[in-house]
Amino acid sequence: MGNNRRLKQAMCKAADGKNVTIAFIGGSITQGSLASRSEFCYQKRVANWWRKTYPKAEIKDINAGIGGTTSHFGTARVTEDVLNYCPDVVFVEFSVNDEANDFFMETYEGLLRRILNAENAPAVVLIHNVRYDTGGNAQVFHAKVGRYYDLPSVSMQNTIFQKVVSGELEAKEITEDNLHPNDYRHQLVAEVITDFLADIHKNRQEQEMAYEVPKTPLTINAYENARRINAKNCAPEDTKCDGFAKDNRLQQEITDVFKNGWMADREGAKICFRVTGSEIAIQYRKTIQHPAPVAEITIDNGQTESVLLDANFEETWGDCLYLQPVLIHGENKEHTIEIKVIYAPDKKIPFYLNAVIVA
């Protein structure tokens, strides 16, 4: 259940007829993947629960779900995509996008701390989705963070998946690919969340202890202040940039992901940056169009081992906005980065560099 002081404050605000903003950040399930219409997505169903429960209030809902992305990217985009709207409540859904390991526990904590420490002090509710073939997700690691921060959370592993295990539900009734929900499962996910919200609503007048964000993080917490460096806010070092062109096309919405970057379609093309931090990751397009280009990144003139950025995507569902860490818990200082295309078999398939994520 966690500490629901902030959540109750948002509910009381809505009950008084004041404007309330509800935001959701996550991956493809939050984006609405496999829902036949956007209004059938669990996100919209939960937002509509707020509208039905608090008819005097104007409820604004924000869907910041981007398919195939993790809490690592979430930390770098949450201010622009969520916090700039001053949400009263933020639902966080990354448990089937993050892997179950310490790295993603740290990036998840960075995301949560960034939201919790926002100036308007929003409530945070954690959502743990699950794979329906294996029962796998990152819940064990994410829940450690959730308990440490005393946050309310709802788990599909502990609810819907248990009905599949018991035979009460068949996986094929609720998902085509054992991961993304059909309309029926979007409804079930929404019901798990709204049942929890309804319990809090009934007791919203009961006071809880004031919520305080722990000053000491659970992990090393290197990602709380992650930032996205792309063509909107940064220019590469012109004297060392050769063959990469800025993408000037207008991004229509946050799910229009292959925008605001740089492209190169020939071998030998290179682009260079100077960044400051201890964590560096490269975000680029992996494509289902084969053969795709391959680039190589070198940090600090080869002081660390170079890393290949292979744009060939082995999945079949579509092009992927891929985020590849290249420096983890390194020295916190200014670093030079050079990205060079070393294989470009087809000019019709350029190497697309979306961003450099630094923390």
Q: What is the DSSP string of 299-319?
A: EGGGTS--EEEE-B---SS--
Question: Distance between CA 305 and CA 208 in Å, rounded?
Answer: 51
Q: Tell me if 178 sits within 8 A of 31, measured CB to CB.
A: no
The β-bridge relationship of strands 153-155 and 123-128 is parallel
pLDDT of residue 241: 85
Rg (CA), the chain: 21
Which pLDDT value is given to residue 89?
98
Residue type, 48: N
- Widest CA span of the chain, in angstroms? 65
Q: pLDDT tens for residues 61-83?
A: 999 999 999 999 999 999 999 99
Strand, helix or coil for residue 69: coil
Could you give the CA distance from residue 129 to residue 67 in angstroms, rounded to a whole number?
14
Average pLDDT over residues 136-145: 98
Please report the sign of the dihedral spanned by the C-alpha atoms of residue 28, residue 31, residue 34, residue 35. Answer: positive
Report the distance separating Cα 22 and Cα 60, nearest Å. 6
DSSP assigned state of 117? T
**Mean per-residue pLDDT over the chain, rounded:** 96
From residue 104, alpha-carbon distances to 15, 27, 70, 307, 324 in Å are 37, 14, 8, 20, 13
Instruction: Please give the structure tokens belonging to residue 115.
Output: 């939201």
pLDDT given at position 192: 98
Q: To the nearest 5 percent, what fractions of the chain are helix, strand and coil? A: 30, 25, 45
Q: How confident is the model at residue 184 (pLDDT cuts 50, 70, 90)?
A: very high
pLDDT for 16: 97
Domains of the chain: 5-202 (3.40.50.1110), 227-358 (2.60.120.260)
pLDDT per residue over 265-323, tens digit each?
A: 999 999 999 999 999 999 999 999 999 999 999 999 988 889 999 999 998 889 999 99
Mean pLDDT, range 145-162, rounded to an integer: 97
Q: How many residues does the chain have?
A: 359
The torsion angles phi and psi of 313, rounded to 5 degrees, stand at: -100, 125
Tell whether the model's pLDDT for residue 249 goes beyond 90: yes
Q: Pairing state of beta strands 262-264 and 294-299?
A: unpaired
Does 239 score more than 80 pLDDT?
Answer: no
Q: Which amino acid is at 220?
A: I
pLDDT for the residue 236 = 84
* CB contact burial 323-358 (16+ within 10 A = b; e otherwise): bbebbeebeeeebebbbbbbbbeeeebbbbbbbbbb
Percent of the chain topping pLDDT 90 = 95
pLDDT given for residue 207 in this prediction: 84
pLDDT in tens, 81-129: 999 999 999 999 999 999 999 999 999 999 999 999 999 999 999 999 9
